[in-house]
Amino acid sequence: MLLKFTKMHGLGNDFVVVDAVSRKVFFNKQQIERLSDRNWGIGFDQLLVVEPPSHPDMDFRYRIYNSDGCEVEHCGNGARCFAKFVLDRELTNKRIINVETKCGAIQLRVLDDGLVTVDMGSPSFEPKDLPFIADPSEGLYSITAGENDYFMTPVSVGNPHAVIKVDQLTDELVATVGELIECHERFPKNVNVGFMQVINSSEVNLRVYERGVGETQACGTGACAAVVAGIKQGWLSPSVTAHLRGGDLHIEWQGEDQPIFMTGPAEKVFEGQIYL
């Protein structure tokens, strides 16, 4: 089958986006792995599949696959690219788009300057929602990776994250500790690992080791998780700019039971066709 696709990125976190509204498209794990290969395929962090909604009050459904072929719940950078894609392809003319994902409904708002704001829903700090195997006696969670213990804040923003506050961000820390914690036995479904350096109450530097992918240039859900963790711990204000390797995201969260709002860019790189 000849597959039409669009290559996009959100701050360097890159995606292949496929229209499964106009034409039914199905992928197996091996196909996704081949397409994601940066030497033998197209290359991407995630594959985004745009589908018709299953509920009448939704505009679309979108599915997210990591480069290892596994389907995941949520992707903030992908959501912004999704919004630009459906407008560019004239699948909708709405500027406020309601979308189904594996973790529930989200709302995307395309702004006049081309930036996209995503209502990411409310975070959860309940260990069972990640899931995370927690010791009820722990006041501040810690986890052992290699020879060291790391204090962390586990948080779900539709997908699971472990946020670790650090004084310095290094390649070795992100790659080595990130890989160890991603598949730690206390996270039965694995976890995304965020390393956050607090600059001041409204700015952080952030690097994220994503499960099934490794470190990416930017992670939207990781930025949301890091900021809400920092707000909960009293380090950050309700409005924060997260500096990632690929660029900046603006995150707002007013506290418990309130939704997270993430604003950032989305860019089309090119369109193409490839045989599955």
What's the CA angle centered on 81, arms 113 and 272, to 5 degrees?
115
Within this chain, do residues 162 and 234 fall inside the same structural domain, yes or no?
yes
Where in the sequence is the domain holding 99, given as residue range(s)?
A: 2-121+265-275
Buried b (16+ CB within 10 A) or exposed e, 116-147: bbbbbbbbbeebeebbbeeeeeeeebebebee
Residues 6+ apart with CB under 8 A from 161: 130, 154, 155, 191, 192, 193, 194, 221, 222, 225, 226, 229
Instruction: Please tell me the distance from the alpha carbon of residue 54 to that of residue 7, in angstroms, as a whole number.
Output: 26
Within this chain, do residues 171 and 228 fall inside the same structural domain, yes or no?
yes
Within this chain, do residues 44 and 21 fall inside the same structural domain, yes or no?
yes
pLDDT in tens, 107-166: 999 999 999 999 999 999 999 999 999 987 776 899 999 999 999 999 999 999 999 999
Within this chain, do residues 138 and 110 fall inside the same structural domain, yes or no?
no
Within this chain, do residues 144 and 108 fall inside the same structural domain, yes or no?
no
Q: Has 221 been labeled as part of a binding site?
A: yes
Among 70, 103, 183, 219, which one carries the catalytic annotation? 219
What is the domain-level CATH number for residue 157?
3.10.310.10
Within this chain, do residues 90 and 191 fall inside the same structural domain, yes or no?
no
Q: 157 and 125 in contact (C-beta within 8 Å)?
A: no
Q: 243 and 208 in contact (C-beta within 8 Å)?
A: no
pLDDT category of residue 103 using cuts at 50, 70 and 90 = confident
pLDDT score, position 111? 96
Within this chain, do residues 188 and 87 fall inside the same structural domain, yes or no?
no
Q: Has 6 been labeled as part of a binding site?
A: no
| Token pair for 122 | 């409310």
Among 70, 75, 81, 224, which one carries the catalytic annotation? 75
Q: Has 192 been labeled as part of a binding site?
A: yes
Instruction: Please tell me the distance from the alpha carbon of residue 162 to that of residue 192, in angstroms, as a whole number.
Output: 6
Residues 6+ apart with CB under 8 A from 142: 149, 150, 151, 152
pLDDT category of residue 73 using cuts at 50, 70 and 90 = confident
As a whole number, the mean pLDDT across the chain is 95
Q: 230 and 198 in contact (C-beta within 8 Å)?
A: yes
- Considering its fold, how many domains does the chain have in total? 2
Within this chain, do residues 48 and 82 fall inside the same structural domain, yes or no?
yes
Strands (E), the chain: 2-10, 13-19, 46-51, 60-66, 71-72, 96-101, 104-110, 116-119, 142-145, 148-151, 153-156, 160-165, 192-200, 203-210, 214-215, 239-244, 247-253, 260-264, 267-275
Within this chain, do residues 116 and 168 fall inside the same structural domain, yes or no?
no
Within this chain, do residues 22 and 96 fall inside the same structural domain, yes or no?
yes
| Token pair for 16 | 């292949």
Q: Has 28 been labeled as part of a binding site?
A: no
Q: Has 159 been labeled as part of a binding site?
A: yes
* Residue 81 appears among annotated catalytic residues: no
pTM for the whole structure = 0.92
Q: Has 220 been labeled as part of a binding site?
A: yes
Q: Has 241 been labeled as part of a binding site?
A: no
Q: 276 and 29 in contact (C-beta within 8 Å)?
A: no
pLDDT in tens, 22-50: 999 999 999 999 999 999 999 999 999 99
Within this chain, do residues 141 and 224 fall inside the same structural domain, yes or no?
yes
Strands (E), 69-202: 71-72, 96-101, 104-110, 116-119, 142-145, 148-151, 153-156, 160-165, 192-200
Buried b (16+ CB within 10 A) or exposed e, 164-194: bbbeeeeeebbeebbbbbbebebbeebbbbb
Within this chain, do residues 92 and 202 fall inside the same structural domain, yes or no?
no
* Residue 219 appears among annotated catalytic residues: yes
Q: Has 66 been labeled as part of a binding site?
A: yes
Match 């962390």 to its residue by tokens. 152
What DSSP character marks residue 124? B
Strands (E), 176-246: 192-200, 203-210, 214-215, 239-244
pLDDT in tens, 174-222: 999 999 999 999 999 999 999 999 999 999 999 999 998 899 999 999 9
